[in-house]
A and B are shown apart, each in its own frame.
Chain A
Amino acid sequence: MTTQQSGFAATDVLATGSDEPDTVERAEKSPEELQPYADLGLKDDEYAKIREILGRRPTASELAMYSIMWSEHCSYKSSKVHLKQFSEKAPQNTRMLAGIGENAGVVQISDEIAVTFKVESHNHPSYVEPYQGAATGVGGIVRDILAMGARPIAVMDPLRFGAHDHPDTARVLPGVVAGIGGYGNCLGLPNIGGEIVFDPCYQGNPLVNALSIGVLPVERLQKKEATGTGNIVVLLGARTGRDGIGGVSVLASATFDEEAEQRRPSVQVGDPFMEKLLIESCLELYDAGLVSGIQDLGGAGLTCALTETAAAAGTGMRVWLERVPLREASMSPTEILASESQERMLLIVTPENLDAVLKVAEKWGVWATAIGEVTAASADGTPGRLHITWNDHVVVDVPPGSLADDGPVYNRPIREPNDVMLLQADRAETLPRPSTGDALRETVLRMAASPNLCDKTWVTEQYDRYVLGNTILAQPEDSGVLRIDEETGLGVALSVDGNGRFARLDPYEGAKLALAEAYRNVAVTGAEPVAVTDCLNFGSPEDPHVMWQFAEACRALADGCLELGTPVTGGNVSFYNQTGAAAIHPTPVVGVLGVFDDVARRVPMGFPRPAKAGGDLLFLLGETRVELSGSEWAWVTHNHLGGRPPKVDLAAEQALGRVMAQASKSGLVSAAHDLSDGGLAQVLVESTLRHGVGAKVTFPEDGNSPFVHLFSESAGRALVAVPRGHDKAFLALVAEHGVPVTPLGVTSEEAALQVEGQFIIPLEELRTAWSATLRDLFGGPAEMAAPAAAAAEESTPVTSGEVRSVTLELSPQAPGGPIEPPA
C-alpha cells in the first residue's frame, strides 16, 4: 500500500488532469476512466457494487466517500454478523433509552436523569503519533457523548503497551499519557480510572481505548436524524483542514507495515479549547431547544455525518461544499469531504432557529456555517439523495443509505488456531512455586514491583481527577464513582477491564472474565451494575484464526450480558491490530456502568484506620481454586502463558454483587477490593498501602497452600474489611446469599503486612518496591532534576527568563520532538 494522505489529495487532479474537480457529468461521459479504488482500500467487487448502485462510475469525491464509509472502521463489515448477537440476546431492560447504532448508549438512572457512556479505540493513530493520537481519541469519544444531548462528565482510559523496557514503549507511553492528560485536563473532565497493561504482543500495536460518560435530563436526548424538508444543515466548530484525511481507511483499517511512520499526516490534530467551546455551545443550543438533529464529526468527517444523518431520516440533502470554512483555501472537494479535522459537529436546525443558533455560536466564539439543507424523499417513498456541489460543479449525487447502511457485509472464514490445544495443555499449575516464607515474601515484593501490578501514580497524577467536583472515587480504586445529583446523592460507578492473556488462552472464557471483572469492580463498591459497553481489539479479520477469536469473544459477551441482565449499549471494534503476521492477544475491553441511589454509601478499597482496638475483620468472599494459568504470577516469574484461564461463574458474581450492595446499604463494611490480576497478594498490597494501615492474615487449613491463597486468580472473589460489631450481621447476609466466606484475619495499627507463619513486610518496604517502577522507567532525567533546580535558587539569582530556558533544555517529551522509528 503506497497511497498516503496524498491519495485523497490527488484523486481530483488525477481524474481530471486540471484544477477542475471530477463531476457527475464527467463521470457519466468517461465510464472507462481508471480509478484508484484499490489504493483507497476498496476490493474489486466492492468497486463493481458502487458502479451498480450509481449506474455509472463514481466521481473522485464519491469514490473517496465509499472507500471511507465502506472501510472496516465505519461499516463494521467483518464484525456485523457477530455483533448482532448483542441485540438478539439483549436482556430485557427498561432503563435503555438508546442503544447500539446510536452515537452512544443511553441509560435512564432516575425519573429525570439519564447517563450515556461508550468506549472507543484510537489505537493506530496513537502508535503513529502518540500525543495527538491519544488526545484526539479522548476528543472523539467526548463528542459522541455530547451528540446524545449529554454534558460529558468524566473519561477513563484502558491502555496497553509493549514490553515495559522496550525503547519504543518509552516513546509511545509518555506521549499517550501526555495526550490523554493534555486533552482531558484542558476540557475539564476528570479522569476517573482505566488500565495500564504491558505485554510484548502490543509492541507494534499499543491499545489506546477511551471511555467517556455524560449526563442529561431525559427529555434532552438528541437524535441524529436529518428530518424536516427545508431544514438547514449547519457545520459547527473548528474549521476544516488537511489533518486526518483518510484516517479510518488508511490507518484504522489496514495492518501496519514498515511505512507506518509515513502515515503521520493521517493522524488528526486536536484543539481541546475548541472542543470545550463546542461542548458549551451545544449544551446551550440543546437547552434552548434549537436543535432538530445532531451528529458529531469523527472518523470519516463530513462524509459520515452527512450520509448518516440523511440516511437515518430517509431524507436527502443539498450541500454547498465551498461554504465549509477551511484552514487551507486550496483544499479540493474530496479533501473537504474526507478530512477528519477535530472539534466539529453537524446540526440540523429549522430555518426560523438559524439566527438564534448562530448567535449562541458567536457567544462562544465558535464557527457556525449553514452549508446545506434537508431535501425531501421521493414521492414514491424512496429516500432522498445526497447532492453536493462545489462552486457549481456537481461532485456527489448518491443515495445516502448506500454509504451509511448498505456497505458490504462479510461472513469471514473462521478457524480455531491449531496452537490453542497445545497452549491450553501447557498449564501454569505445574510450574515450580515458592514454598518457604522467605520465598513467598520475595515473590510478593517482586510481583508488587512488576510493571502490570505496580503503582500507576506516575501516570494518573498527570490527569485531573478533581475538576467538576463530583469525583467520589477515582483510580486506583476498583471503580470510578461520580455523584450525579448533589441533592439526592444519585450517582454512578464505572469500571473498564480486559485481560488479553486470558482471552488468548480461551477467547470465550477470556471475554466473559473481562465482563465478570468489570461487573465485580462495580459491584464491590456497592453499586448496582446495569449496562455494558465494549471495545473489541483484535488482529486482522482476514485471518480466520483472528476471526475465530473475535466470534468467540462476541458470543461470550452476548451470553454473559444476557445472564447478568446488563445489555451491551454500544461500543467499538478495532481490527487490524497486528504488525506483519503477528496479531495482538485478542483484547476485549469491557466497561460496566453501575448505579447508586446515594454515593455516600460507596465502599472504597483501602483499609481505613480501625475505629476499634484489634482492627477491622478481614473476610474473603468467593472460592479460591488452584488457578494459575494466564496469571500475572506465571507471567512475571516464569514468563509463561499457557493452560486454561480461571473458571467464570456469573451466577456467583451476581450473588457477590448482591451481598456487596446490601452490605453497603446497611453500612456493614469499611473497605472492599476485587481480586483479579495478582490475586490476593496484590489486593493486600493495594488495600494496606492506600492509607498505610497494616494487616495480619492467617490462611485456613483448607488444602490450598499459602502460595495458592496469595497468587491464584480465581474469579468471583473480593476481600472485605468489616468493623467489629458488624461481623455477625455481615456473615448472616453472606450466608443468605450463599456466598463462600473465609475469615482471613484483621487490619492492624502496625504498619506491616503479615502472613501468619510465613512473612512480615513493613509497609514502607512494600511501598518502596511498589511505587518506584513507572517513575524509574518513564520519569526521565527531568523528574530527578526538579528538586535540585529548586534548591539551587537560594544561592543563585535567577530571572524568570533564565528559568524558562532551563525548562526548555529539559524538555525530552515536547510535542514535535524527535520520534524514534518504530521497532
Chain B
Amino acid sequence: MRIGVVTFPGSLDDGDAARAARIAGAEAVRLWHGDPDLHGVDAVVLPGGFSYGDYLRCGAIARFAPVMESIIDAARGGLPVLGICNGFQVLCEAHLLPGALTRNQHLHFRNRDQWLKVESTGTAWTNNFTPGQEILIPVKNGEGCFVADTRTLDALEAEGRVIARYIKGNPNGSQRDIAGITNEAGNVVGIMPHPEHAVEALTGPSLDGLGFFTSVLRSLAKDGQLAGGQQ
C-alpha cells in the first residue's frame, strides 16, 4: 500500500512521516506541493513544519497549493488523510476539519513527551488503538491551541469525533484538552502531536505513534479501498 507524504516549501517532518509509513509496512510516496497528481496513493499524510513559512496564518497558504486541490477532492471521496501539526492546521484552513489552531496560550513553542487518551477508534487512522488507550507521543508546536465555538465543540463530542485528548497536562491550552479530531466520515484526521516521532525505540519516547500508520493500512485492507477504486 502506498502512503503519500506531501512536501510543501517549509515542511519539516516530511521525512519522518515517510519513515513512519515505511516502518508500518507501507510504501512511502513523496508528493510535491506544486504537482496536483496524487500518483495513485492510497492515503495521504500532511506533515509538520511551517508550510510557506506560515507568516500569514498557519496553513493559510498551503490550502491553496495545487496538490491540496486534489487532496480536498479525494478526501471528500473517502481518501484517508492524516494532518499532523502543520498538516492539522492545513486541514482546518481547507475546511476539511472544523475549528482552528491558535497560538499556545502560554505563548511559547513547547516540545515535550505528551500523554494522550485515544477517544475514538472508529477512524481510518485510529482503528488499531483501543478506546481509552493511553499513549505517549511528542508534542511540539507554537500554535497548537485548538479552538472552536461551543456548538462545534459539543457536536464534535456528541458525534465521537474527538479522536484524542491531552491527559496529565494540556501543553497548549486547547479547548476541552482536544489533541485531535476527525471529519464526519472518519477518513480525515488532524492531530497536533507527532505520531511519526514515536515509531522507533531508539529515537522516540514510545512506539505508540505507529498505531496511526498501522490503522490506515488495516482500514485500507479491510475496505479494499485501494487507489484503483479512487481513480
Task: Give A contacts to B, CB under 8 Å.
Answer: 178, 181-182, 185-188, 271-274, 276-277, 364-365, 460-472, 483, 599-600, 779, 782-783, 785-787, 789-790, 793-794, 797-800, 803-804, 807, 810-813
Contacts and interface: CB of A to CB of B under 8 A. Distances in A.
Contacts of A797: 149-150
B9 to A, nearest CB: 6
Contact of A800 (B10, B54, B102): B102
Contacts of A462: 108-111
B176 A810 contact: no
Contact of B106 (A185, A463, A782): A782
A779 B106 CA distance: 9
A790 B170 contact: yes
B173 A273 contact: no
A272 B10 CA distance: 9
25 contacts: A182-B109, A186-B12, A273-B55, A276-B12, A276-B50, A461-B111, A462-B109, A466-B140, A467-B12, A467-B140, A468-B15, A469-B19, A469-B196, A472-B202, A782-B107, A786-B106, A789-B105, A790-B174, A793-B175, A797-B150, A800-B99, A800-B149, A803-B147, A804-B103, A810-B105
Classify the interface of chain B: helix, strand, loop or mixed. Answer: loop
Given A800-B99, A800-B148, A188 B12 contact: yes
Interface string B85-119: 00000000000000110111111111110000000
B197 interface: yes
B131 interface: no
Contacts of A779: 106
A465 B202 contact: no
Contact of B53 (A271, A461, A467, A599): A271
Given A466-B138, A798-B149, A813-B107, A483 B202 contact: yes
Interface of B: 9-10, 12-13, 15-16, 19, 48-50, 52-55, 99-100, 102-112, 138, 140, 142, 145, 147-150, 170, 172-177, 194, 196-197, 200, 202-204
A469 B149 CA distance: 36
A200 to B, nearest CB: 26
Give 5 closest A-B pairs by Cβ, nearest first.
A273-B53, A188-B12, A786-B105, A469-B16, A466-B197
Given A789-B105, A800-B147, A461 B112 contact: yes
A794 B177 CA distance: 11
B105 A807 contact: yes
A464 B111 contact: yes
B150 to A, nearest CB: 4
Contact of A469 (B102, B107, B140, B197): B197
Contact of A790 (B13, B150, B173): B173
Given A273-B53, A782-B106, A790-B105, A469 B147 contact: no
Contacts of B13: 188, 467, 469
Nearest to A189: B12
B152 to A, nearest CB: 10
B56 to A, nearest CB: 12
B150 A798 contact: yes
A463 B103 CA distance: 16
Nearest to A804: B102
Most chain A CB atoms below 10 A, which of B10, B105, B145: B105
Contact of B102 (A185, A471, A599, A807): A807
A276 B52 CA distance: 10
A469 B176 CA distance: 30
Contacts of B177: 790
Contacts of A185: 109, 140, 142
Nearest to B48: A467
Nearest to B140: A464
A237 to B, nearest CB: 14
Nearest to A799: B149
Nearest to B201: A600
Contacts of B100: 800
Contacts of B109: 178, 181-182, 185, 461-464
Nearest to A276: B10
Contacts of A799: 149
Nearest to A797: B150
Contacts of B9: 273, 276-277, 364-365
A733 to B, nearest CB: 25
A627 B169 CA distance: 42
A463 B172 CA distance: 15
A202 B174 CA distance: 38
A277 B49 CA distance: 13
A167 to B, nearest CB: 20
Nearest to B103: A807
Contacts of A271: 53
Given A365-B9, A466-B194, A790-B174, A782 B203 contact: no
Contacts of B173: 786-787, 789-790
A467 B194 CA distance: 10
A803 B106 contact: no
Contacts of B172: 786
B100 to A, nearest CB: 5
A555 to B, nearest CB: 41
A800 B146 CA distance: 9
A810 B197 CA distance: 31
B98 to A, nearest CB: 11
Nearest to B137: A466
B156 to A, nearest CB: 13
Given A469-B203, A472-B203, A798-B147, A790 B175 contact: yes
A186 B53 contact: yes
Given A483-B203, A786-B106, A807-B105, A273 B149 contact: no
Contacts of A463: 109, 111
Contacts of A812: 107
Contacts of A785: 105-106
B202 A807 contact: no
B30 to A, nearest CB: 13
A465 B102 contact: no
Given A464-B111, A469-B16, A798-B175, A782 B149 contact: no
A483 B194 CA distance: 19
A466 B106 contact: no
A466 B9 CA distance: 19
A364 B111 CA distance: 28
A343 to B, nearest CB: 12
Contact of B108 (A178, A467, A469, A599): A178
A469 B194 CA distance: 11
B15 A803 contact: no
